[in-house]
Chain A
Amino acid sequence: MTVQEFTLLKDFIYEKTGIYFAENKMYLLESRLANRLNDLSLSSFEEYYYHLKFGGSKTEQEITYLYDLVTTNETSFFRNPPQLDAFKIIVQKNYLNGTRSEGGLRIWSAGCSTGEEPYTLAIMMLELLAHSNVAMPFTIYGTDISTKALESAKKAVFNNYSIRNTDKSILSKYFVEDKGAYALKDSVKKYVTLDFLNLMDTASYRKYRQLDVVFCRNVLIYFDEKGKKTVIDNLYESLKTGGFLTIGHAESLHNISRGFKPLIFPGTIAYQKG
């Protein structure tokens, strides 16, 4: 990949997705796109750029491939326990023991990849409700830019690596194991609605309004300062007043948003819409 080709492609990706490849990420982009060049029998990245930009009817489809290639799908069930414990505290104190439960709970996993996060939240809600005497409807939305990841999420069959942090009791209660593959039961799947969403596309947030809790973990890392602000402003609009946002444990809203009220939980932080 030449520097010129890198510039063309990184600008194209930024314009479409907000995902920003810095100069030092040229080799990363090259390695991710190399197979696609082979598949299409193209001889240079410049040709690939023209295929993306002027491919006519094929452009749309190629862009969905591109979205799959430029995102990372590293995730697992019950990832980062302190953040999940904070979620539990939020639900218990504000909804199960509080007054804010009317109409049920609306939760969004923004950047849900192959589904482990929204399904973890569904399992946690089922467990929380089972241990309380409150009957409360809840819905969990999972969205991602990668259609390949979403297809996998819809299948909801997971490998050993995905469930490595999952308690045995949870595994036997909510999964069916077959030769090392763990299929999530419909009793959990039915609470999760999965759909495509490009977080840079402000208009598409319209479907996600009046949310109680938003998880958007390890997504901001893809964006530059401007992109981060756009995404966080959009998520702010999607939350109801008093709703909570959780971002990745290494991510920060410092200098990104003034609207949120940070609250400390054991070993982590969550941001409340004031």
Chain B
Amino acid sequence: MTMKRILIVDDSPTIRKLVGYVLKKKGYVTEEAEDGMDAMEKLSSSEIDLVIVDLNMPTMDGITFVKNLRNSYYNLDLPVVMLTTTKDEELKEEALGAGVNMFLSKPIQPEDLISNIEILLGGGP
């Protein structure tokens, strides 16, 4: 059986490492990207089941990333979780409008992260 693959998009290597650790421990395969452009390029060359994305990143932010993904010709309905510290409701509205499936707040407990992404994945790894 092939394990589900999750792409972690964050400009902070520490966050990527932390989230990756939680997911790998649970049995997921992870890939990393440092911003939206990097993420789009990674998505074009490997099969990914879910994306966890930060809101604020240099070169291409999380909302622009989701807009581009939803405008694509393939993989456009991939589940996207936005992991963010923002309390700004307007930004959240904009992100939802762009096509984000779920918001999770940083910092997050590992079990909350897992249980929430498994709702979107419809099961475990």
Contacts and interface: CB of A to CB of B under 8 A. Distances in A.
A258 B75 contact: no
Interface stretch (B10-18, B34-42, B95-103, B112-120): B34-42
A264 B37 contact: no
A265 B38 contact: no
B71 to A, nearest CB: 6
A252 B44 CA distance: 11
Contact of B40 (A249, A258, A264): A264
B105 interface: no
B59 A264 contact: no
The interface centre, meaning the residue of A263, A265, A266 with most chain B CB atoms within 10 A of its CB, is A263
Nearest to A266: B74
A22 to B, nearest CB: 23
Contact of B37 (A93, A262, A266): A262
Interface size range on B against A: 10 to 19
A262 B60 CA distance: 10
Contact of B38 (A254, A258, A261, A266): A254
Contact of B72 (A252, A253, A264): A264
Contacts of A255: 37, 59
A103 interface: no
A264 B69 contact: yes
A252 B41 contact: yes
Interface string A214-251: 00000000000000000000000000000000000100
B41 A263 contact: no
Contact of A263 (B35, B38, B71): B71
Contacts of A262: 37, 40-41, 44, 68
Contact of A265 (B44, B59, B60): B44
A81 B38 CA distance: 23
Given A86-B73, A268-B44, A263 B68 contact: yes
A89 B73 contact: yes
Interface in B53-79: 59-60, 68-69, 71-76
A258 B72 contact: no
Contacts of B44: 262, 264-265, 267-269
A67 B60 CA distance: 37
Given A255-B59, A258-B59, A269-B44, A264 B75 contact: yes
B22 interface: no
A269 B73 contact: no
B43 interface: yes
Nearest to B40: A262
Contacts of A261: 68, 71
B74 A264 contact: yes
Contacts of B38: 254
Contacts of B41: 252-254, 262, 269
Interface in A71-120: 86, 89, 93
Interface of B: 35, 37-38, 40-41, 43-45, 59-60, 68-69, 71-76
21 contacts: A86-B73, A93-B73, A253-B37, A253-B41, A254-B59, A258-B60, A262-B44, A263-B73, A264-B40, A264-B43, A264-B73, A264-B74, A264-B76, A265-B44, A265-B72, A265-B73, A265-B74, A267-B44, A268-B45, A269-B41, A269-B43
Interface of A: 86, 89, 93, 249, 252-255, 258, 261-269
Q: Closest 5 CB pairs between A and B?
A: A269-B44, A262-B40, A264-B72, A266-B74, A263-B72
